[in-house]
Copies of this chain bind each other. A is one copy, B any other.
């Protein structure tokens, strides 16, 4: 691990070469490396927090000058209650996960003495580009080492001092382990990104962790597969039989628990029959939390009639563009779903406008719920539960690499499994394909599934 002056090509080649050693390193050796990183970071707490304080000082000035948002400043702060401890605990959590390498997922007897196996293995070289949060370095370095992948890390400029401090410590810690030097490499300057994105011969997967703009820029500028999501336009559909209390509780959580998160809801779809029964209670609870409601004609009329005047005046009109907007703020658009074929119409709206991230239904009917769960084309589809549940930690995956809205490979919250692929191994005894054919003298395939 090194903060390097090498060219992007040299960095990628070194990572590629190291990845082959890392791919055959036993679990014990990978775990020892994580223990070393944990210890070294614990020992260096003071100097790292001092470096982080320098980043914060610079960032604070930028905030005062209006050059940086308050939320970036918050994300930068490693000294925030519990953050340092969480970062350290995350390393040990990853270490203690089951080894994801070398799992047999298929075994077939092709013919006598000829066996096929499908075995999990690392993808190879990951390029991880992230913005403010400095703790992501430790987090991602741990996941990469545990999964046997080499990683090239590029952090944001706001966290440079923290980044250098943490990476120097990790680098020194890894020097004493059997993880090869080129396995984790850190790059400081932003100008290397375009070159790295062109190195599809050496880099196998790009994982951007940051703003939608960052993800979209990367998706538009590389042939390397990208794991991530560029938008989080999530929906909640309130069916005509939804329980009022459940609905209020879930919708409020979806919108207000963490409005800037990608799994927060942006559009509420409401069955026409509950515009005057369930929706007013939902709207009142949301308005009390400071949420702006952008309503279509029907829902606005129903709410205007049902709500006290001082709340009704706060209602806004929705526009077509709202259906495709991620607010990342306390704003919610509301659309009325007509009574005929209502579930299909809700599904149809979602499949057209959702970012295929997370969508939920509120209903007391299992049949309706199952129709929704099957019909919505999103990574996560929930029944009577908050969209905010879409998260690797909540799913029980330990640390999460990110959330993917890809339609291939890994979808939804991505844990260690998403950093693995597989290879097919055949063990034979001089078997030739030309010996197998229909007709006289031809050998026949057995294709017998074996236990694994």
Q: Which positions in A face B, CB cutoff 8 Å?
A: 19-20, 23-24, 82, 108, 110, 114, 116, 123-124, 204-205, 219-220, 223, 225, 227, 243, 245-246, 249-250, 252-253, 257, 347-348, 351, 369, 371, 373-375, 377-386, 388-391, 394-396, 406-413, 421-436, 438, 445, 447
Q: How far is the CB of A52 from chain B (nearest CB, A)?
A: 23
Q: What is the oligomeric copy number?
A: 2
- What are 7 A-B residue pairs whose CB atoms fall within 8 Å in the complex? A20-B351, A23-B374, A114-B385, A116-B395, A253-B435, A382-B425, A395-B424
Known: A396-B447, A431-B384. A374 touches B424 (CB 8 A): no
Besides A20-B348, A123-B408, 4 more A-B contacts (Cβ < 8 Å) are A116-B396, A243-B430, A385-B428, A412-B423
Q: Give complex CA distance A424, B220 in Å.
A: 27
Residue in A386, A410, A425 whose Cβ sees the most chain B Cβ within 10 Å: A425
Pair A445/B380 contact, Cβ less than 8 Å: no
Q: How far is the CB of A164 from chain B (nearest CB, A)?
A: 30
Pair B427/A385 contact, Cβ less than 8 Å: yes
Q: Which residues of B contact A243 (CB under 8 A)?
A: 430
Closest 4 CB pairs of A and B: A385-B428, A253-B432, A246-B430, A388-B433
Q: Give complex CA distance A412, B425 in Å.
A: 10
Q: Which residues of B contact A347 (CB under 8 A)?
A: 20
Known: A257-B433, A379-B424, A388-B434. A110 touches B20 (CB 8 A): no
Known: A351-B20, A433-B386. A423 touches B394 (CB 8 A): no
Q: Which residues of B contact A424 (CB under 8 A)?
A: 379-381, 390, 395, 411-413
Pair A434/B257 contact, Cβ less than 8 Å: yes
Residue in contact with A411 in the complex, picked from B205, B421, B426, CB distance below 8 Å: B421
Nearest-CB residue, chain B, relative to A446: B396
Residue in contact with A408 in the complex, picked from B23, B408, B412, B431, CB distance below 8 Å: B408
Pair A249/B430 contact, Cβ less than 8 Å: yes
Nearest-CB residue, chain B, relative to A257: B434
Pair A445/B204 contact, Cβ less than 8 Å: no
Q: Give complex CA distance A371, B412 in Å.
A: 35
Pair A407/B110 contact, Cβ less than 8 Å: no
Nearest-CB residue, chain B, relative to A351: B20
Q: Give complex CA distance A438, B81 in Å.
A: 12
Q: Which residues of B contact A351 (CB under 8 A)?
A: 20
Pair B253/A428 contact, Cβ less than 8 Å: no
Q: Give complex CA distance A386, B429 in Å.
A: 10
Pair A423/B378 contact, Cβ less than 8 Å: yes
Q: Which residues of B contact A389 (CB under 8 A)?
A: 110, 114, 426, 428, 431, 433
Q: Give complex CA distance A409, B388 in Å.
A: 27
Known: A257-B434, A389-B433, A411-B421. A426 touches B380 (CB 8 A): yes
Pair A428/B382 contact, Cβ less than 8 Å: yes
Q: Which residues of B contact A123 (CB under 8 A)?
A: 407-408
Pair A253/B433 contact, Cβ less than 8 Å: yes
Pair B429/A246 contact, Cβ less than 8 Å: yes
Q: Which residues of B contact A369 (CB under 8 A)?
A: 427
Q: Which residues of B contact A371 (CB under 8 A)?
A: 24
